[in-house]
Amino acid sequence: MIFNDIADGIVRQVEAVGNGVNEALFEPVIRLGVTGLSRAGKTVFITSLVANLMNRERMPGFLPAAEGRVLTAFLQPQPHDDVPRFDYESHLSAMTGPDPHWPQSTRAVSELRLSFRVKPGGLLSGLRSPRTVHLDIVDYPGEWLLDLALLDMDYATWSEDALKRAEPRKMGGDFLASAHAADPAGEYDEATAKTLSSDFAAYLRDAREAGFSDCTPGRFLLPGEMAGSPALTFAPLPTPTRAPRGSLHREFERRFEAYKSKVVKPFFRDHFSRIDRQIVLVDVLGAIHAGPAALEDLRRAMAEILSAFRPGRNAWLTSLLTGRRVEKILFAATKADHLHHTQHPRLTAVMSALMREAKDRADFAGASTAAMSIAALRTTTEETLDHQGRKLDCVRGTLLDTGKRAAFYPGDLPEDPARLLKPARDGAKAWLDEDYGIMRFAPAEITLKPGEGPPHIRLDRAAEFLLGDRL
Ligand SMILES: Nc1nc2c(ncn2[C@@H]2O[C@H](COP(=O)(O)OP(=O)(O)OP(=O)(O)O)[C@@H](O)[C@H]2O)c(=O)[nH]1
Ligand SMILES: [Mg+2]
């Protein structure tokens, strides 16, 4: 008897080990990074994507679903205990529950695991049993990718750059005044350091609010649990001819280095280096609406963001990746439900043009890339109105500010994206041809039929590009 029990125990242990091995070997994991500058639409995108992957009636362009190969998709505990979970349920109920509203701004990294049971495709499909594929979605702010550039700079170079960038920006005035009034060679004291850094952070927030993209260091916009720590209490200062030990300049220099090693590097090491598929969400319409300066700034920020995907861009990052790379990158212009569909190709053309410039600088080493216009949550319907004898293709939705329903014509995007990008680059103060308006719409009240996810535009195509080949 005793003998048997022991033998049984051993068999069970062997089985358990076997299962562990099976899981590790045969249940592939796709790590999808979702990024974009603040307010680009990351939270809405992930929420709607997950809802539409679980309820696939609105996903005809996502082939594994259209071919009936996805048997189920379900949420699972994520593999990393130290990363906050993406709060899918709250965001979904905000967007699709009674009194629908947009989810709260979230600017820290978070993660969610969605698992699929899929029938294999191809010739042997009848012979093989269904398998499990895990999709780990990682939401992280695009500003954190911009921080990669900081690794190549010392404090003096960064300061010069940041001060120069602030100069032409209206909202930079107050901060520049305090930076120039400070004595960088003078003795460091914490009160001065705090004032300078909070003025700097306030300027970055205002710049972001006004539609500017490059508002680094990324963690200054939403410091989270690091608020008030020395690694986040510094600001750019003019370089003095001599910065003695104990001076403000020396101390800021030290903190700038701490920001790099304590904030920037851990993000790239713990999150970025593990990503296989990436979507970069871009609020192109928002930038066009904010004007030429904002569009030019977005173009530069995109180039900078994309260089994070270029191998060899940074020696430290290259050594970290050791041969790993992102296989696919999708650039998606978000909130396309602000435009009548006849204008979507033009929006995509602007997105591609922004990306192409970045691509010229950064060779993605074989990663396949695409550009698309999407709306993760469609809030409008289309209609064509007669306006002074001219037909206007409009969208109609509920305005966020007043709660009233209205039809809206945002202006005609040009067929040639250069009509926007060139004046932006040349420093034009305003658009010549058109005024591009933008309205903020509230999510519409919706009743979902069984099997349906929230309404969207081209979310299925985005999913197909990013995941189709792996399911
Ligand atoms: N009409 C429309 N608006 C959208 C859509 N996606 C996002 N928005 C708008 O953009 C805002 C920002 O979207 P979020 O998903 O919160 O953006 P985010 O990138 O997560 O923003 P942060 O968490 O602040 O970095 C929302 O509050 C909406 O107003 C969309 O598909 N359609
Ligand atoms: Mg968010």
Query: 135 pLDDT exceeds 70?
Result: yes
The atom number, within ligand 1, closest to the CA of 440 reads 29
How many angstroms separate the alpha carbon of residue 319 from the centre of ligand 1? 35
**Nearest-CA residue for atom 5 of ligand 1:** 335
> Which of the given ranges, 2-6, 78-82, 230-234, 308-312, has the highest pLDDT on average?
230-234
The protein residues having their C-beta less than 5 angstroms from ligand 2 (an ion) are: 42-43, 106
Ligand 1 cavity residues, CB under 6 Å? 36, 38-44, 102-103, 105-107, 141, 334-335, 337-338, 375-377, 379, 440-441
Task: Say how far apart CA 424 and CA 441 lie, in whole Å.
Answer: 27
Mutational test site, ligand 1, from 39, 105, 285, max ligand atoms within 8 Å of CB:
39
Say what angle helices 248-259 and 155-166 make with each other, to 10 degrees.
90
Which residues on adjacent β-strands are paired with residue 236?
none
What is the pLDDT averaged over residues 84-95? 96
Contact 132, 27 (CB under 8 A): yes
How many angstroms separate the alpha carbon of residue 41 from the centre of ligand 1? 4
Residue 49: which H helix or E strand, with range?
helix 42-54
- Higher-confidence position of 301 and 126: 301
Task: Say how far apart CA 409 and CA 340 lie, in whole Å.
Answer: 9
What is the pLDDT averaged over residues 126-151? 89
Sign of torsion, CA 42 44 48 50? positive
- Higher-confidence position of 20 and 422: 422
DSSP secondary structure letters along 241-277: S---TTBHHHHHHHHHHHHIIIIIHHHHHHTGGG-SE
| Residue with tokens 């009848």, as numbered in its chain | 126
Residue 98: name the closest of 445, 456, 442 by CA.
445
State the pLDDT confidence band at 360, using cuts at 50, 70 and 90. Answer: low
Q: pLDDT for 440-469, tens place per residue?
A: 899 999 998 999 999 999 999 999 999 999
Number of Cβ within 10 Å of residue 392's Cβ equals 15
Task: Say how far apart CA 76 and CA 150 lie, in whole Å.
Answer: 36
The Cβ-side half-sphere exposure at 144, using a 13 Å CA radius, reads 25
Query: 24 pLDDT exceeds 60?
Result: no
- Higher-confidence position of 210 and 405: 405
- β-bridge pairing 110-118 and 131-139: antiparallel
Number of Cβ within 10 Å of residue 103's Cβ equals 17
Query: 307 pLDDT exceeds 50?
Result: yes
Task: Say how far apart CA 34 and CA 281 lie, in whole Å.
Answer: 7
Query: 422 pLDDT exceeds 70?
Result: yes
Residue 285: name the closest of 406, 380, 163, 359 by CA.
380
Task: Say how far apart CA 318 and CA 470 lie, in whole Å.
Answer: 26
Measured in whole angstroms, the distance separating CA 458 from the mean position of its chain's CA atoms is 17
Task: Say how far apart CA 186 and CA 288 lie, in whole Å.
Answer: 43
Contact 364, 328 (CB under 8 A): no
* 3-state helix vs strand vs coil in the chain, percent to 5: 45, 15, 35
How many angstroms separate the alpha carbon of residue 309 from the centre of ligand 2? 22
The confidence score (pLDDT) of residue 64 equals 95
How many angstroms separate the alpha carbon of residue 331 from the centre of ligand 1? 16
- Higher-confidence position of 26 and 191: 191
| Residue with tokens 């699709």, as numbered in its chain | 96
Task: Say how far apart CA 437 and CA 117 lie, in whole Å.
Answer: 44
Contact 284, 205 (CB under 8 A): no
How many angstroms separate the alpha carbon of residue 441 from the centre of ligand 1? 11
Q: 184: which 2 tokens?
A: 């960088």
How many angstroms separate the alpha carbon of residue 100 from the centre of ligand 2? 17
Task: Say how far apart CA 120 and CA 324 lie, in whole Å.
Answer: 26
Q: 447: which 2 tokens?
A: 């009743």
Task: Say how far apart CA 333 and CA 372 lie, in whole Å.
Answer: 6
Q: pLDDT for 366-417, tens place per residue?
A: 688 899 999 999 999 999 998 888 888 999 999 999 999 999 988 889 999 9
Query: pLDDT over 70 for what percent of the chain?
Result: 92
Query: 345 pLDDT exceeds 70?
Result: yes
Measured in whole angstroms, the distance separating CA 222 from the mean position of its chain's CA atoms is 15
Query: 4 pLDDT exceeds 60?
Result: no
388 secondary structure, DSSP code:
T
Residue 335: name the closest of 397, 292, 384, 285 by CA.
285
Query: pLDDT over 90 for what percent of the chain?
Result: 64
Query: 3 pLDDT exceeds 80?
Result: no
Average pLDDT, the chain: 88
The answer to whether the bond into 230 is cis (omega within 30° of 0) is no
Which CA distances in Å does 273 have to 80, 279, 329?
A: 15, 15, 14
pTM (two decimals): 0.87
Contact 198, 283 (CB under 8 A): no
Mutational test site, ligand 1, from 44, 279, 337, 408, max ligand atoms within 8 Å of CB:
44
Task: Name the E strands within 334-380.
Answer: 368-373
- Higher-confidence position of 174 and 368: 174
